[in-house]
A and B are shown apart, each in its own frame.
Chain A
Amino acid sequence: MIGIWALVAYTRVAPALGVPNLHNPFFLPSPDTVAKSLYNMFAHEGFAHDVWASTRRIGLGFLISAAIGIPLGIAIGSFRIVQAFFEPIIAAVRYMPASAFIPLLIIWFGIYEKEKIAVIFIGVFFPLTLLIADVSAGIPKELVNIAYTLGASRWQVFWRVLLPASWPGVLDNMRIGIGWAWTYLIVAELVAASSGIGHVILSASRFLQTDKIIAAIITIGILGLLTDALFRWLYWFLFPYSERVSR
């Protein structure tokens, strides 16, 4: 709410203060223009289809990253040998910007779904895995030790202590990771796509339709907020024992 108010205030007040160019509706269209074109896009231009295309790519790319990254991250954080083997590679690739891979990925996978998902995977998988490895490696040593004194084997410590102790941190980092997924998806769609929110933004910019660009960006923002709410609900639902969860 405050955010929306701030946006309105900005579009109204900024021109009065003489912020360059912004008083020109061409550069920064008024909220009602944006709202109108957002409605138009959904009602007449099949924007819902693009939103779905993007969401689907995010979903797939993120799920694949998480499906491999979570077990691998936990293994890296829990077992020395796994860490020694994987961490250096992953740490190195993490510093290579995912967007730099796009041309290569286009050659490998073409310009359709596979390439988009691959970009998301490269952008999300590597840092997510390392963050999750940190979560598992950071489980308090006392918790592990007490399990040993209660008679747990190494394997039991892994399944009954390290894993359950890791889940809340894993979910936290998934919430962060899905944000990166959006960033990389839009980049991928800006480069080459025939559908998706990024594609809509690119086409709109060809026709200088700033209202449509802003409408598309706001849509991403709203989807982000929804995902965040979903993750927060999941945390509340799955981890009622967490100190962070009240009620």
Chain B
Amino acid sequence: MSSISVSDVSMVFKTRRGRVQAIDRVSLEIPDAHFACIVGASGCGKSTLLNIMGGLVRPTSGTVQVDGRQIHGPGTDRGMVFQSYTLFPWLRVRENVEFGPRLKSMAKEERRRISDRLLQEMGLADFARAYPKELSGGMKQRVAIARALANDPKVLLMDEPFGALDALTRAAAQRFLTGIWEQHRRTIAFVTHDIDEAIFLGDTVYTMTPRPGRLREVIPVDIPRPRTLDEFGTPRFGELKRHILELIIEHENRGVSQTAAAP
């Protein structure tokens, strides 16, 4: 059982041009083995929220709990994957994957067993000795996912991990991640601004509105798994997409008509 919850988190950045309220009293709870997607317009505070959950950013107020225990900073119970390629360029693929276990001074054979298994699953067994520069963008992100999983985290926090990929690679990566998730059954918080992606992947979609970043609505995705590409054409998918789009766009127009923002 591993859940992650955010209680009443607010984040105010003090900048030269004044205070920016990036997040305003956000509370959410992602249950065990649940795939949660967080969507919202650019700048609405998705990354900030995820970094707070990861312990990389300390919130101005509020707390984050993993399995009911409050977190203070980053920890191996939460693995992270970012949009930018964050592989260590001087380490080979296998060494990247073994980075976490190595910090724990895990025995070599055991590390090897973990990385062998993960690289196999990621379809990267032949690239164990390659340097990151020799990989395509999609492969890099798979290594990054493997590296996060190597620590056996309770929760996986992903910030637009496929944002830099082209449409084809991206679709493949989404199906791939679904497979991984079905196998590993981790609790996942997945940030994206691609609504299709959020519906295709998530059990739940959390929508956020910007300035200040607030949680707008929590939408359960009632499309049964396993999901296939056909899902994109179904009426239910279209309905969900329109609903989520409205939640986000309605807010963008708030400046024009205030009344539209009423829930």
Contacts and interface: CB of A to CB of B under 8 A. Distances in A.
Given A164-B88, A164-B90, A241-B89, A149 B132 contact: no
B133 A142 contact: no
A151 B90 contact: no
Contacts of B84: 140, 142
Contact of A146 (B75, B82, B133): B82
Contacts, number: 70
A150 B131 contact: no
B78 interface: yes
What size tier do the contact residues of chain B reach? 20 to 34
Nearest to A157: B103
B65 interface: no
Contacts of A167: 90
A243 interface: yes
A241 B75 contact: no
Contacts of B80: 145-146, 149
Contacts of A108: none
A243 to B, nearest CB: 5
Nearest to B104: A151
B208 to A, nearest CB: 22
B133 A242 contact: yes
B103 A156 contact: yes
A27 interface: no
A27 B133 CA distance: 53
Contacts of A161: 88
A239 interface: yes
Contacts of A241: 89-92, 131-133
A204 interface: no
B147 interface: yes
A86 interface: no
B249 interface: no
Interface residues of A, number: 22
Given A142-B82, A149-B74, A241-B133, A165 B90 contact: yes
B90 A150 contact: no
Given A142-B84, A241-B133, A149 B90 contact: no
Interface in A154-213: 156, 160-161, 164-165, 167
Contacts of A243: 89, 133
A71 B82 CA distance: 31
A242 B133 CA distance: 7
A12 to B, nearest CB: 47
Interface centre among A140, A149, A167 (most CB of B within 10 A): A149
A151 B103 contact: yes
B97 to A, nearest CB: 10
A140 to B, nearest CB: 8
B86 A151 contact: no
Contacts of B74: 145, 148-149, 151
A151 B133 contact: no
A152 B147 CA distance: 13
A138 interface: no
Contact of A150 (B55, B92, B151): B151
A143 B55 CA distance: 15
B79 interface: yes
11 contacts: A148-B73, A149-B56, A149-B79, A150-B100, A150-B147, A151-B74, A160-B103, A161-B88, A241-B91, A241-B133, A243-B133
